[in-house]
Amino acid sequence: MPEQDRYYNRELSWLSFNRLVLEQMKDKSLPLYERIKFMAIYSSNLDEFYRVRVASYQSLMELHSTHIEHLDYSPQHILDEIKKEVNSREIEYEKTFYEDILPELKQAGLVLHQNQKLGPEHLSFLKDYFMNEIMPEIQPVLLSTKGDVLSFLQDNVIYLAIRMQKKRPSHADKEYYAVIKVPTHHLTRFVRAPKLKKRYLFFFLEDIIRHNLDLIFPGFIIEDAYTIKVSRNADLMIEDEFSGNLLDKLRNSLRQRKTGFPARFMYDRKIPDEMLAVLKLAFNIDESDFMPVGRYLNMNDFFDLPNPVGKKFELAPVKQLRDPYLDSQDSILTAIKKKEVLLHFPYQTYDYVLRFFNEAALDPDVEEIKTTQYRVATNSAIVNALITAARNNKKVTVFVEVKARFDEAANIKFADQMREAGIHVIASIPGLKVHAKAAIVVKRNRRKKNGHETLAFVSTGNFNEKTAKQYSDKGFFTSDPRITNDLEKLFLYLETPIERYKFKHILVPRFNMIEQIKSKIKREIKNVQAGKKGYIILKMNSIEEQDMIEALYEAGQAGVKIDLIIRGICCLRPDMPFSPNITVTRIVDKYLEHARVYAFFDDGNWDVYISSADFMNRNLHRRVETAVPIFDKKLRTEIIEVLKLQLKDNTKAQKLDKNICNVPKKKSKSKDEPEYRGQIDTYLFLEKKNLMQE
């Protein structure tokens, strides 16, 4: 077998994950609006995939053939496989939308207008709404049919392409073409109209424009109109991060992102060939980027589809659990000094993290706060707390990763706000991304030899109170000096990245992470060779790095049992002769599985880390990450129990086969076998733990 067959392609493995998202859209056991949410997620995922990953392959195709020959794969072959898979799923997606979602919405009492007959009341509403709300936003552009290039289609924006003729008979045989930007940036995509036969009636914004095209082009006969859009390369082209002002370069590059080269041209498949040819010339679109789709684009807008028909069509909200110990303490900082606390989001409330930052901002004994920022919430409560701390004369240092993709503009804005408030802001390290999620608070304590003590919060996910309600992550409060001393070194490194530091307990890429993880894998191999049990559980978003994969292959061949819980990209191929004893589980459910956990059996004395790092090339070689050990035996056991609940999942979990296809976990034929669902069972486990503590 060729060597490259030891690793599955990264992009195709990601598409198999998105296929599982599509399956949730089709799952009729879920409430209707939950399925609609997955419909939006699928569309949003693909948009980013084309703007980032497909665009990178297209960039490779621009290289001279001698450069491509040195690759161990064919970029064109991968692009062909991607198009084949995406086109196949697009048909499935549209079929589900038109044959399942729309009829079920109608049955529930909501009509998304298609071709239903309208009465005078509705026609009057459409005209009034168009004239009052839409018309001021409309800027139609006539297209040249002579091949003059007009490269102004903005990234990820819906346009209507219109074909028409002049009303004067002498010009009746000449076709004219125009495009109109659909103003979803200013107006809602779904416009509520008067009820239709006692059902709620909504129109797509572009359909209201279609109804009124004669008002935009009064001298023309409108023949037809079709939706189109371009997905453009989202890479920020910064050739040199090491000289000049990186922030200024990022700002300039962000302005250019909207006009990056096309990665995909989506169009209504009903568009006539001659009209498509005009658009191809007018916008200089390569035919290889063509993607025929249905009538509607940007289906991620369905995140905001109103629900006037009742909460029974949504998942019932689950009350977030509280931590009895933290609730019993007047001060969260004092509580952390007494006892380490592990939190599981979103099952448990994120309020404790906000309390941590707010209390640190106000406590007169707190001298200093240091934290990282990768993606924070709009109107971030954490950023507000840091600004309050600075205004209270505390020394505050924030490392802002302004290169966090698609959050660059927001992070630059936050960096500017914090700098104006007196916070010491470090904005990115040239050549590296800082993906670690860590914060330390330094307090005065006369009982300590050095006169202070350090408290810390580390997480597997971003410091973002909004996504903490949707992403499944772990957070950890500690004052253990073995961890806090290393975290202090980490922040010193972020301030002076040319220095080298020795981390004794936490794992940091480019310092000790790869070596330490490989050492722990080898320890499991040695235990098996000594007649003991060898077992590894790794949970993360993605696994790609080939040295790590090879280390796991070696362990599996030696007899170590390896359970991987991988949500997305998986380049490791299970069920192959070179990968015995390795299983890969993928879970797509209500919450986005986002936690990273490394667990090694270590002859019964579990060695457990929570981490910000996936086993990706970028994470292990080009980012600053952290993996923090959990020393407390009870907390280690708690993490392992939650991992085992996910491995038992036979409802939402899928096993990956050697071709990274999703294979449902088979339930036995016995009627008595219970159904396991990892996310629900995790909530029940934590709820039971709370009851035992009370």
Mean pLDDT of 553-561: 98
Angstrom distance (rounded) from CA 574 to CA 581: 8
CB distance 614 to 542 below 8 Å: yes
Output the CA torsion 488→428→235→382 (10° steps): 70
Q: Which of 71-85, 493-507, 565-579, 625-639 has the lowest mean pLDDT?
A: 71-85
Q: Domains (ranges, CATH) in the chain?
A: 1-108 (1.20.58.310), 123-309 (3.30.1840.10), 326-495 (3.30.870.10), 513-693 (3.30.870.10)
Active site members: 435
Instruction: Report the percent of the chain where pLDDT is more than 90.
Output: 75
Mean pLDDT of 651-673: 84
Angstrom distance (rounded) from CA 179 to CA 70: 43
- Under DSSP, the state recorded for 600 is E
Beta strands 592-593 and 471-478 are parallel
Closest of 649, 660, 609 to residue 631, by C-alpha: 609
CB distance 386 to 414 below 8 Å: no
**pLDDT tens track for 37-92:** 999 999 999 999 988 888 888 877 765 555 555 556 678 888 889 999 999 999 99
CB distance 678 to 643 below 8 Å: no
| b/e code 69-96 from CB counts within 10 Å (16+ = b) | eeeeeebeebbeebbebbeebbeebbeb
Residue 181: predicted pLDDT:
96
Residue 57's SS3 state is: helix
Q: CA of 285: how far to CAs of 55, 453, 497, in Å? A: 14, 61, 43
Q: Does 287 have pLDDT greater than 80?
A: yes
Mean pLDDT of 593-602: 98
Q: Which of 91-100, 171-180, 256-265, 524-533 has the lowest mean pLDDT?
A: 256-265
* Burial grade of 601 (CB within 10 A; 0-12, 13-18, 19 or more): buried
Residue 516: CB partners within 8 Å, gap ≥ 6?
A: 507
Give the predicted TM-score (pTM) of the model. Answer: 0.92
Mean pLDDT of 236-252: 51
Residue 238: predicted pLDDT:
47
Closest of 562, 598, 600 to residue 579, by C-alpha: 562
Residue 1: predicted pLDDT:
39
Residue 244: predicted pLDDT:
53
CB distance 461 to 467 below 8 Å: yes
List the 190-196 sheet strands across, edge first.
Answer: 110-112, 199-204, 190-196
**pLDDT tens track for 211-222:** 999 999 998 999
Residue 629: predicted pLDDT:
98
User: Which has more confidence, 278 or 4?
Assistant: 278
**Residue 427 confidence class, pLDDT cut points 50, 70, 90:** confident
* Burial grade of 197 (CB within 10 A; 0-12, 13-18, 19 or more): exposed
Residue 629: CB partners within 8 Å, gap ≥ 6?
A: 482, 483, 505, 506, 607, 608, 609
**Is there a cis peptide before residue 674, judged by omega within 30 degrees of 0?**
no
Q: What is the 3-state secondary structure (H, E, C) of 517-547?
A: HHHHHHHHHHHHHCCCCCEEEEEECCECCHH
Mean pLDDT of 584-601: 97
Instruction: Report the percent of the chain where pLDDT is more than 70.
Output: 91
**Structure tokens of 188?**
């809602």
Angstrom distance (rounded) from CA 649 to CA 653: 5
Angstrom distance (rounded) from CA 226 to CA 86: 21
Angstrom distance (rounded) from CA 18 to CA 329: 43
Beta strands 471-478 and 290-293 are unpaired
Angstrom distance (rounded) from CA 162 to CA 226: 7
**pLDDT tens track for 443-476:** 988 777 778 899 999 999 999 999 999 999 999 9
Closest of 610, 597, 599 to residue 539, by C-alpha: 597
Q: Does 240 have pLDDT greater than 50?
A: no
Angstrom distance (rounded) from CA 590 to CA 597: 20
Angstrom distance (rounded) from CA 152 to CA 232: 12
Instruction: Match 């010009």 to its residue by tokens.
Output: 171
Residue 365: predicted pLDDT:
95
**Structure tokens of 431?**
């050549």
- Under DSSP, the state recorded for 615 is B
**pLDDT tens track for 491-549:** 999 998 877 899 999 999 999 999 999 999 999 999 999 999 999 999 999 999 999 99
Residue 256: predicted pLDDT:
55
Residue 512: predicted pLDDT:
96
